[in-house]
């Protein structure tokens, strides 16, 4: 019994630290790289098997050098198409950029995830201070929630973002859009990291 307890303690004590998210400056603004261990999470993998859209909400809180507070967000929708066995991905980044990807299998999906940097706040990145907080929520959607969120997101972006030429207002509108479409959904889990802004991609 004592030996079992000691072995369990050693296993826990010797576990490697969980890699955090990375925040860095680029020409696109402030970008985040998410750690690949997230895709080994059992709850995440089980949700992918459901065939419904699952969503990662990526949020950033940071101050400018003048003391002003900034919040940014990105939304990553992922659905595993059971029949075709492909990952369908829709992304809305913090600068308003939208991208879609069709990825053929889990191995390719892991490679894409590891290499993907998500823009949270637009340039100039030099205006931001070095300390920030990153939050990642994982939200499972039902089919009805998925349809409602997509309709809301499309209408909101058409009415608010495209007709607003000021960068600060655009960032605020994007952040509010991403948060409003997920506010009624409870995350399965959340991870938070206090990070230091680096000068380039690590």
Blockwise average pLDDT, block size 10, the chain, 202 residues:
37 53 90 92 86 90 85 92 90 91 93 94 79 91 57 53 48 54 68 85 58
Query: In the chain, count of helices (H) and strands (E)?
Result: 5, 9
Look at residue 6 and tell me if it is in a domain.
no
Q: Which among 103, 104, 106 is positioned nearest to 89, based on CA atoms?
A: 103
Look at residue 14 and tell me if it is in a domain.
no
pTM score above 0.95: no
Q: Which domain holds residue 91?
A: 19-196
DSSP string, 143-167: HHHHHHHHHHHHHHIIIIITT---H
Look at residue 131 and tell me if it is in a domain.
yes
Look at residue 201 and tell me if it is in a domain.
no
Look at residue 175 and tell me if it is in a domain.
yes
Q: What is the tally of structural domains in the chain?
A: 1
Look at residue 92 and tell me if it is in a domain.
yes
Which tokens hold the place of 33? Answer: 């790289």
Look at residue 8 and tell me if it is in a domain.
no
């Amino acid at each position: 019994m004592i030996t079992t307890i000691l072995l369990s303690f050693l296993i826990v004590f010797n576990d490697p630290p969980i890699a955090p998210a990375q925040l860095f400056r680029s020409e696109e603004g402030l970008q985040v790289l998410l750690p690949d261990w997230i895709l080994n999470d059992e709850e995440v993998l089980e949700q992918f098997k459901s065939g419904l859209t699952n969503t990662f909400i990526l949020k950033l809180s940071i101050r400018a050098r003048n003391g002003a507070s900034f919040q940014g967000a990105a939304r990553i929708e992922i659905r595993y198409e059971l029949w075709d066995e492909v990952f369908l991905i829709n992304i809305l980044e913090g600068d308003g950029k939208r991208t879609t990807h069709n990825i053929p299998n889990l191995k390719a999906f892991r490679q894409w995830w590891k290499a993907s940097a998500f823009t949270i706040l637009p340039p100039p990145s030099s205006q931001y201070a070095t300390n920030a907080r990153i939050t990642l929520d994982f939200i499972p959607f039902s089919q009805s929630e998925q349809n409602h969120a997509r309709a809301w997101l499309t209408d909101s972006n058409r009415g608010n973002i495209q007709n607003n030429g000021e960068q600060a207002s655009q960032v605020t509108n994007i952040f509010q859009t991403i948060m409003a479409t997920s506010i009624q959904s409870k995350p399965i889990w959340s991870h938070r990291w206090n990070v230091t802004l680096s000068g380039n991609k690590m």
